[in-house]
Structure 1
Amino acid sequence: MQLGQLNWLDYVIIGIIAISVLISLVRGFVREALSLITWAVAFLVAFNFSHDLSLLFSGHIKSASASYALAFAILFLVTLLIGAVVNYLLSTLVKKTGLSGTDRVFGMILGGVRGVLVVAVLILLAGFTTLPKETAWQHSVLLPHFQSCVTWLEQFIPDALDFITGQ
């Protein structure tokens, strides 16, 4: 692969991964991992308990969907806030123990993995559009290297749809 063979799509892929790696290098593994876990937990808490909390709002809000949305937002944001406090405390502990160099190296690795997954998800979603028919897509040097990751992600689509629809 030569640099001259890359097209704009390849540069976007490189940019997404590089930005993810740099952010994780600056933030470190502990902060990045806890952030990802916090977002996932916040979604799960909000998804699983919004209905129960929305019942408390039913006397004040006429629309069931509005009370559900408010409950979801409250649970999501409160969970994110709690996660941010825990993240701050653990990150401070890592700095005080002198592991910040190691933390940053592992953060870079996590950032690279996250960048690859973000690119794979974007490729998967772009597959539902007309973008794969574009010349840049067909002549991309890097795109074929992500196909196995996209194929791996595709197996989760039915389960994810069942989870979202509650079936």
Structure 2
Amino acid sequence: MLETGLGWIDMAWLAVLSISVVVGLLRGLVSEVFSLLGWGVAYFGSHWLAPQVAPVVPVGEPGSRLNMLAAMALLFICLLVAWGLLSWMVKQLVRASPLSAADRALGGLFGLARAVMIGFVAVTLVSATPLAKSPAWQASHGVGLLQAMLAGIRPLLPDGVLEFLPSQADGMRIGSRGEACVASSV
């Protein structure tokens, strides 16, 4: 068997990275961005419109918390579907234009950025658990790389975010000059 030096955590990270990039390439940047915007529009739109729609929603007593939540849920679904239709139409326009190849390439970059963000969230969450001290986590090349990237962007982040990021005390591998280090192979 070929020994790569990659553990299960690295393999899982590579799978997330690969899937995210491929999905981005297949969907394109316009679809990816419209998808994210759609969730935001549905979330905020449902909150904004719920007071007007709640009186006609036949769930719970008018004005009750249940009535408002039902209106918000109904609006969320309707807005998400409507945004999906708009997104589909825009995607068809882009696919029919000369921008299709650029859209797909930029979608791949978007997928890469999304995978890195997923990695940042995973490293931040796992660093707060006992799993961060496990041999598999400590030996992971991907974890070391993500920690180095997090250390690099630390100065750019607001203080409110920094309190949730792993530090040297939390098990982040830090070099002699204060930089995060990529784990060496075992």
Give TM class, smaller chain. Answer: 0.7 to 0.9
Return 5+ residue gaps in structure 1 as ranges: 159-167
- After TM superposition, where is structure 1 displaced by more than 3 Å over at least 4 residues in a row? 47-50, 57-60, 62-65, 148-158
Per the normalisation by structure 2, the TM-score is 0.71
Rg larger in structure: 2
Q: State the match for 1:165 in structure 2.
A: none
Secondary structure, in 3 states, of the residue corresponding to 2:114? helix
Higher helix residue share: 1
Aligned residues: 155
Deviation, structure 1 residue 30: 0.8
Q: Corresponding residue for 1:69?
A: 69
| TM-score, length basis structure 1 | 0.78
**CA spacing shift, 1:60–1:110, aligned 2, 3 Å:** closer
d(CA) in 2 for partners of 1:66, 1:105: 45
Residue of structure 1 in register with 2:150 after alignment: 149
- State the alpha-carbon separation in 2 of the partners of residues 99 and 61 from structure 1: 49
Secondary structure at the counterpart of residue 142 of structure 1: helix
Task: Describe how 1:1-167 pairs up with structure 2 within 5 A.
Answer: 4-50=4-50, 52-53=51-52, 55-56=54-55, 60-62=59-61, 64-147=64-147, 148-149=149-150, 152=157, 155-156=160-161
Q: Give the C-alpha shift of residue 44 in structure 1.
A: 2.1
Stretches of structure 2 lacking an aligned partner (at least 5 in a row): 164-186
Q: Is the 8 A contact 1:121 1:153 kept in 2?
A: no
Tell me, in whole angstroms, the C-alpha distance in 2 between the residues paired with 1:153 and 1:75. 34
From the superposition, tell whether residues 14 and 131 of structure 1 become closer, same or farther in structure 2 (CA, over 3 Å).
Answer: same
Larger RCO: Structure 1 or Structure 2 (Cα < 8 Å, ≥ 6 residues apart)? 1
- Take 2:5 and 2:24, find their aligned partners in 1: how far apart are those partners? 29
CA RMSD of aligned residues (A): 2.7
* Alpha-carbon distance in structure 2 between the residues aligned to 1:109 and 1:14: 15
C-alpha distance in 2, partners of 1:88/1:143?
Answer: 36
Q: Supply the distance in 2 between the matched residues of 1:26 and 1:34 (Cα, whole angstroms).
A: 14
Residue 13 of structure 1 deviates from its aligned partner by: 0.9
Share of identical aligned residues, percent? 26
Q: CA deviation at 1:66?
A: 2.4
In structure 2, C-alpha distance between the alignment counterparts of 1:90 and 1:135, rounded to whole Å: 48
